[in-house]
Amino acid sequence: MRATPLGVHNPRTVRDLLLTHGWELGQAEAAASGITGAAVHLTGLTPSTLEHLVSRGGPSYGLDVVTGDDWAIVAGSMARLSAFARPWSALPELAELAAVTVRALGSAVPTLWQTARGPVDLERPVILGVLNVTPDSFSDGGRYSTEATALTQAERLLENGAHIIDVGGESTRPGRPKPVPVDEERRRVVPVVEALVRRHADLLISVDTVKADVAKAALETGAAIVNDVSALRLDAGMAKVVADAKAGVILMHSRGTVSDMASLDHADYGASPLAEIVEELGSSLDHAARSGIALERVVVDPGLGFAKATTDNLRVLDQLVALAVLGRPILVGPSRKRFLGAATGREVDQRDVATAAACALAYERGARLFRVHEPGIVRDALSLAHAMAAGPPRLTPAV
């Protein structure tokens, strides 16, 4: 039995979900138009659970219930849905359903992220500036592959609003890049990290790698965070390196290897892609915890552009609320991705405006960290999004 929160700010969300369950378009649109407030998508339900949900559970709390063979959408005000999700007061036949629902509704996302060099305050948006020291990155390959050019770009990223510099020495671009040997990736990354630490003693540096040896060398040099786009899948030693260093870690959803994770080879999702993404990230969180990584050091990333078609990426961006069930801060990396090109018709080097718009939408939906190539325009978009979320300033009455 699985429960996934739904953002119902747009009726299309429920409509599209119903279409994946085989409903006719007219029926799906009619049902979706009446769903407001908060909602949860429940799957893996038994016939008995469905019967009790429809006949007694939903009506008892004034909730709307839409069902299928083994699934249901339960919607209503957050107060009513929260009351329904109290296992101690639920009908015995619905106690398990209430328990998974309350976990899906989740708790407040933490406002601090612990790293090896201190906490990151998430009360305001935090920008990670991308620094690719590779010859073949999809957006800026080769531009910053020397120490001098990398440092110049890092200064520009910081001046334009980046709070953290994310240094990467291996490309995961589309086009099946060949894996970079450990020694070569370490040669690319470590001198840049070392130089950044010398120049900016208080700067938080993230190393973008799936290799434990590279992560260990960067952390020993002064990096504070590991950005693992495989969420600890591809190197059995990575979790121990992170745990031993008490580093911050970003667990990104992906499938496959470095060579094919940015392709569509593994973009095979069922009726609810968000539920599968949440489940797979949840497994990575469990692995991290078992390996001794304190959860206060973990950020999750849904992996926009990785093993996801354009429609999947748009759905993930729209439904980031689903990741709240994991109880960890959310990072997104939409920067210059193909799905932005599909939406706008822009080439890679013309997608920064769309990137900023995607970041502002993601902030509204719960993301607090943003990995981008061009911080300046993103900083402005996020400043506005944050100001809108905070509400208008209190005015002082005229004397």
pLDDT tens readout for residues 381-397: 999 999 998 766 554 55
User: Is 343 or 37 the better-scoring residue by pLDDT?
Assistant: 343
Both 225 and 199 in a single domain? Answer: yes
Both 271 and 386 in a single domain? Answer: yes
Work out the average pLDDT over 180-203.
Answer: 95
Both 262 and 370 in a single domain? Answer: yes
Q: Is residue 397 part of a domain?
A: no
**Count of structural domains, the chain:** 2
User: Is 88 or 51 the better-scoring residue by pLDDT?
Assistant: 51
Both 181 and 318 in a single domain? Answer: yes
Work out the average pLDDT over 64-76.
Answer: 91
Give the pLDDT confidence score for residue 91 in this predicted structure.
Answer: 79
Q: Is residue 246 part of a domain?
A: yes
Q: Is residue 131 part of a domain?
A: yes
Q: Is residue 398 part of a domain?
A: no
Q: Which domain holds residue 68?
A: 2-105
Give the pLDDT confidence score for residue 5 in this predicted structure.
Answer: 87
**Which amino acid would we find at residue 105?**
L
User: If you average pLDDT over every residue of the chain, what do you get?
Assistant: 90
Both 74 and 141 in a single domain? Answer: no
Is 371 noted as a catalytic residue in this protein?
A: yes
Neighbouring C-beta atoms of residue 306, cutoff 10 Å: 24
**Domain C-terminal end among 77, 105, 133:** 105
Q: Which residues of 339-371 are buried (b: 16+ CB within 10 A; e: fewer)?
A: bbbebeeeebeebbebbbbbbbbbbebbbbbbb
Both 139 and 56 in a single domain? Answer: no
Both 264 and 319 in a single domain? Answer: yes
Structural tokens at position 337 = 């991705």
Q: What is the DSSP code (8-state) at residue 330?
A: B
Give the pLDDT confidence score for residue 140 in this predicted structure.
Answer: 52
Give the pLDDT confidence score for residue 329 in this predicted structure.
Answer: 96
User: Is 287 or 137 the better-scoring residue by pLDDT?
Assistant: 287
Whether residue 90 is predicted with pLDDT greater than 80 in this model: the reply is no
Helices (H) and strands (E) in the chain, counts: 15, 14
Q: Which contacts (CB < 8 Å, 24+ apart) does range 171-174 have?
A: 171/132, 171/134, 171/136, 171/137, 171/138, 171/141, 172/229, 172/258, 172/261, 172/262, 172/306, 173/136, 173/137, 173/138, 173/141, 173/262, 174/138, 174/262, 174/263, 174/338
Bridge partners (DSSP) listed for residue 121:
112
Give the pLDDT confidence score for residue 399 in this predicted structure.
Answer: 42
Work out the average pLDDT over 255-273.
Answer: 86
Residue 62's alpha-carbon distances to 5, 45, 76, 107, in angstroms, are 18, 20, 7, 23
Structural tokens at position 301 = 């990333």
Both 120 and 230 in a single domain? Answer: yes
Q: First vs last Cα of the chain: how many Å apart?
A: 61
Residue 140's CATH number:
3.20.20.20
Q: Considering 233, 255, 308, 371, which one is annotated as catalytic? A: 371
**Domain C-terminal end among 87, 105, 123:** 105
Work out the average pLDDT over 233-256.
Answer: 97
Q: What is the DSSP code (8-state) at residue 201?
A: T
Is 211 noted as a catalytic residue in this protein?
A: no
Sorting pLDDT into bands at 50, 70 and 90, what band is 247?
A: very high
Quick check: 279 and 198 in contact, CB under 8 A? no
Q: Is residue 395 part of a domain?
A: no
Work out the average pLDDT over 367-382.
Answer: 97
- Kindly report which listed range (7-16, 172-181, 372-381) carries the lowest average pLDDT score: 172-181
Q: Considering 186, 216, 297, 337, which one is annotated as catalytic? A: 337
Both 209 and 80 in a single domain? Answer: no
Quick check: 380 and 356 in contact, CB under 8 A? yes
Give the pLDDT confidence score for residue 275 in this predicted structure.
Answer: 85
Both 177 and 307 in a single domain? Answer: yes
Both 86 and 142 in a single domain? Answer: no
Q: Is residue 258 part of a domain?
A: yes
**Domain C-terminal end among 105, 140, 167:** 105
pTM of the model: 0.88
Q: Is residue 71 part of a domain?
A: yes
Q: Is residue 399 part of a domain?
A: no
Using DSSP's 3-state secondary structure scheme, residue 232 falls into coil
Both 81 and 123 in a single domain? Answer: no
